[in-house]
Amino acid sequence: MKLRPILLIVLLVGGFWFVTTHWSAGSGGLSLGHFSLTGAHGAGSALELTEAEAAPTYDTEEQNNIAVYKRVLPSVVNITSTTLVFNFFYGTVPQQGQGSGFILDKSGHVLTNFHVVDGANRGIEVQLSNKHRYAAKVVGTDKVHDLALLQIQAPDLQPVTLADSSDLNVGQKVYAIGNPFGLSGTMTRGIISSIRSIRNQDGAPIEDAIQTDAAINPGNSGGPLLNYRGEVIGINTMIASNGADQSSGIGFAIPINTAKAVLSDLTRYGRVKRPSLGIVSYAIGPDLAEQMGLAADSGVLIQKVIAGGAADRAGLHGGDQQAYVGNTPIMLGGDLIVGIDGQEVTDPQDISAIMDKHQAGDTIAVTVLRGRRQLTVKLVLGEAREATT
């Protein structure tokens, strides 16, 4: 007798479940394929999900995006540098910085920005896309061009392919792959917005820097900027953020041809033997040229030749009369450089761009105006010193 109430309850619950899950009120019969939901007016409505019957297809642009990412990702690395810094409360403590880089060859050479590894007195670690980590040694650095060459010992490395960055055009498609904010393996895309000369965080010029709207953020520094074929055209290095420390759609990359010009010296000497004319220079524009009575509208005025330097050995003249441009003292009376190897020179950036194509010891032809007389002299490039061109 005691089982009857229990059986009755089980039958009532079972019946309620059967009716609510299998009875379709609008059809007058059983509906075995749907789950009924009671609507606002008490009517049941079946929930039906539509699923794709085939694998997803990609358009041509998507296919290229995916192909570039898959091909280049194994070549992009995450770089962690550790520096001991002094903290007032805790004494000397480790501080870590992060950036990106990319593999140049199967010997384990990795290119990145100098500022990514600057001051790393407690080691540099490189993490590959397969999550394996390796200690890295610094082969050489070039602070002026914000470049550093590292090397790791790792098997089965996949190098990038380097493009020619001398013929880039505004509007062409680019990709950036790196580790923004530590988010490894991130790809963004955009276009080349401009090719312009800028100055890096230390004030050194970057000639023909690649401006892009591809999102570049902290952690992208040192990573590759790629063309649509996945070839490296630049090294992502800085953003214009107006203090926000995040992407504003204006990022800059060092052209890969600049890196090519210094890699040989980094591997051979551990530093860049930058070529130099051995002068202290000043850019002359049309207004100043007219005031000074010069025979050209623009050029680079030699204020001083460095004793024993290339210009000094070639017999070029520095200034001998002091004057002021605003509050800036300059020396007048020196030779005005207007061309090198047949290329017009209007400012020191023109000279820097030409120097990037040469090495110390190369011979060049320098065209100068000495008063009203034009001269072309042969000059053997020396090695750069601080504050000289």
Closest CA to 23 of 13, 12, 34: 34
DSSP category for residue 31: -
338's enclosing H/E stretch is strand 336-340
Tokens standing for 153? 């010992």
Annotated catalytic residue, options 75, 221, 276, 281: 221
What is the rounded distance in angstroms from the CA atom of residue 130 to the CA atom of residue 111?
19
SS3 296: coil
Q: Residue 309's CB: how many other CB atoms inside 10 A?
A: 22
What DSSP designation does 155 have? S
Residue type, 37: L
Catalytic residue among 75, 81, 146, 265: 146
* Tokens describing residue 271: 């530093």
Is position 132 annotated as part of the catalytic site?
Answer: no
Q: Could you tell me if 251 and 216 are in contact, meaning their C-beta atoms sit under 8 angstroms apart?
A: yes
Distances (CA, A) of 242 to 199, 237, 249: 15, 16, 12
Say whether 227 sits in a helix, a strand or coil: coil
Q: How many CB atoms lie within 10 A of CB 123?
A: 14
Dihedral class, residue 105 (left if φ above 0, else alpha if ψ from -120 to 50, else beta): beta
SS3 309: coil
Structure tokens at 8: 């009755």
Residue 138: closest CA among 107, 160, 117? 117
Among 36, 115, 213, 281, the active-site one is: 115
Task: Answer yes or no: 208 catalytic.
Answer: no
Could you confirm whether 281 is annotated as catalytic? no
Q: What is the DSSP string of 33-59?
A: SS-EEE-TTS-EEE------SS-----
What are 278's two structure tokens?
Answer: 């051995």
Distances (CA, A) of 65 to 61, 80, 130, 165: 6, 27, 20, 21
Q: How far is residue 32's CA from residue 357's CA, in Å, rounded to a whole number?
A: 78
Instruction: Show which residues are catalytic.
Output: 115, 146, 221
